[in-house]
Amino acid sequence: MNVQDPIADYLVRLRNAISAGHDKVDIPASRLKLEVTKILKEEGYIQNFKIQEDNKQGMIRIALKYVDGSNVITGLKQVSRPGRRIYSTKDKIPKVIGGLGVSIVSTSRGIMTGEQSQKTGVGGEVLCEIW
């Protein structure tokens, strides 16, 4: 299946698995999705992830994290879309819910959180927000 917007596909699969109460979700792999998944792991939104090789592009298996029966991820929002790209300078990267969430930014130095991009002094395309 040809996906026009890989970040939207990633977020929808994650949101659907959370709403269905699944323990894990499989997402077609790409470097961009792998970097976003690494950030989710570092920030504590998911338990773990594993890359499963197949004869195609591979799959990322994400183990979702639950605390007292409720998921750690309460919301996902795509910011930049193929029809409307949202770029931000290092000073104007949006804070998610007053700093309780994480914005994920694609910079010239790679995919990183909004906080990391402010510390390194680079701006970029704001991909999504997770809280």
Residue ranges and CATH numbers for the domains of the chain are: 6-71 (3.30.1370.30), 76-130 (3.30.1490.10)
Question: Is 102 or 1 the better-scoring residue by pLDDT?
Answer: 102
pTM across the whole model = 0.90
96 confidence band (pLDDT: 50, 70, 90): very high
If phi over 0 gives left and psi between -120 and 50 gives alpha, with beta otherwise, what is residue 9? alpha
Cβ 28 vs Cβ 10: under 8 Å = no
Average pLDDT, integer, range 69-78:
93
- Strand partners for 62: 25, 49
Average pLDDT, integer, range 101-127:
95
How far apart, in whole angstroms, are the C-alpha atoms of residue 44 and residue 115?
15
